[in-house]
């Protein structure tokens, strides 16, 4: 199989797998169970993956980790908004 297609499928699956978490937090407007520290560690790691993808010029890595950064930044923002409310 073409490596890029494989990478895009892999990235698609790992991206889909984290959507329920985001949907749950947005629906319930509750992010108490989520650790802000771990989100920060995760976002740092994912950002470094994007950097790695740019250095290696690999689109699947840039796209899937870039998407993950966006999802987790949204979760982080939700944490701050919803924790203030409660």
The footprint of its own copies (CB under 8 A) covers 3, 6-7, 9-18, 20, 33, 35, 38-39, 41-42, 44-46, 48-49, 51-52, 55-56, 58, 60-61
**Closer residue to its own copies (CB): 52 or 80:** 52
How far apart, in whole angstroms, are the C-alpha atoms of residue 18 and residue 67? 11
How far apart, in whole angstroms, are the C-alpha atoms of residue 74 and residue 34? 12
CB of 9 to its own copies, least distance (A): 6
How far apart, in whole angstroms, are the C-alpha atoms of residue 13 and residue 36? 24
CB 79 within 8 A of CB 34: yes
CB of 86 to its own copies, least distance (A): 18
CB of 17 to its own copies, least distance (A): 4
């Amino acid at each position: 199989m073409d490596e890029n297609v494989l990478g895009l499928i892999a990235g698609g699956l790992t991206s889909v797998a984290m959507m329920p978490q985001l949907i749950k937090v947005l629906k319930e407007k509750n992010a108490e169970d989520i650790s802000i520290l771990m989100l920060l560690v995760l976002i740092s790691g994912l950002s470094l993956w994007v950097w790695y993808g740019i250095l290696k010029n690999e689109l699947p890595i840039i796209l899937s980790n870039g998407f993950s950064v966006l999802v987790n930044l949204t979760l982080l923002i939700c944490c701050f908004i919803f924790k203030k409310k409660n």
